[in-house]
Amino acid sequence: MNKFILIILSAIFTTSALANQPKEWQLGFQNPASSGMRDIVNFHNNLLLPIIIAISVFFLFLMLYACVRFRASANPNPSKRTHNVTVEILWTLIPCLILIVMAVPSFKILYKQDTIPKADLTIKAVGYQWYWGYEYPDENIIFDSYMVEEKDLRADQPRLLAVDNEVVVPVNKVVKVLITANDVLHAWALPSFGVKRDAVPGRINETWFKAEKEGTYYGQCSELCGIKHAFMPITVKVVSEEDYQEWLSEARVKFAKEEIENDKLKLASK
Ligand SMILES: [Cu+2]
């Protein structure tokens, strides 16, 4: 019986883990997996959407009303009025107020995202034409991350989103991401974390996220960077602290940046 419950639970958890990628016929955002993205989704769903819908409905009503009420057949002698001070003040002031109402929470979210809390680990993402290179500067780890070709996809890997070497980070830890590029502009973007930063050659941009759920998260390069712009996806695997330590110990060997010999650093021959 316990086994049965376990199977059902694991089935539920697999589906929730798979929910971090775009779905067919999806209209809204991907499920948020960080507080930053939750803020963005709330801002969009609870403030922007109602305002946009209200404005659209109001103006649809105004247009229909004008079409019927002021139609030519009912108004053989149309009014020649061109100014109305009250109306002009209103239709300037009200949109200004609406913009202020939207700007205040918007700036709050922007500033919150811009302030990087004390990081538990730092990763560096480097955009290349056309793949991403990653470094864990504190762990002496470096590797490249290429998209998996369609013919090589495993059953659980989504097309155009899966990569050969994923970024692995622990759950509930502040991850600081340093982003740069080696050739042209790219952008490191992960919708579930609400993260999107330009990768600029010769300059390092910073962002951060704290993933709240384990799972595999997919993103894409979001700055048109050339012919294979669509084929340099980003995959981040969020795992438990123990799994992360296990991955680290393997990665330190597999992806060693520099070989340590006689206490001195030497370029690894790989
Ligand atoms: Cu790119």
CA of 189 to the centre of ligand 1 (A): 10
pLDDT, position 270: 45
pLDDT digits (tens, 9 = 90+) for 81-112: 889 999 999 999 999 999 999 999 999 999 99
Which residues in the chain come in under a pLDDT of 50?
A: 9-19, 269-270
DSSP 158: P
pLDDT, position 144: 94
pLDDT, position 80: 87
CA of 243 to the centre of ligand 1 (A): 30
CA of 230 to the centre of ligand 1 (A): 8
CA of 101 to the centre of ligand 1 (A): 35
133 Cβ contact list (under 8 Å, min separation 6): 125, 126, 127, 142, 143, 144, 145, 182
pLDDT digits (tens, 9 = 90+) for 8-56: 544 444 444 444 788 888 888 988 999 999 999 999 999 999 999 999 9
Neighbours of 137 (CB within 10 A): 13
**Residue 264, strand partner residues:** 261
170 Cβ contact list (under 8 Å, min separation 6): 120, 121, 238, 239, 240, 241, 243, 244
The H or E element that residue 107 is part of is: helix 85-114
CA of 35 to the centre of ligand 1 (A): 26
pLDDT, position 11: 45
CA of 232 to the centre of ligand 1 (A): 6
Q: Compute φ and ψ for 204, nearest 5 degrees.
A: -110, 120
pLDDT, position 24: 85
- Whole-angstrom distance, CA of residue 190 vs CA of residue 195: 5
CA of 218 to the centre of ligand 1 (A): 15
pLDDT, position 13: 46
- Over the range 40-59, which residues count as b (16 or more CB within 10 Å of their CB) and which as e? bbebeeeeeeeeeeeeeeee
CA of 55 to the centre of ligand 1 (A): 37
162 Cβ contact list (under 8 Å, min separation 6): 147, 148, 153, 154, 218, 233, 235
pLDDT, position 261: 58
> What angle do helix axes 49-69 and 85-114 make, rounded to 10 degrees?
160
pLDDT, position 230: 94
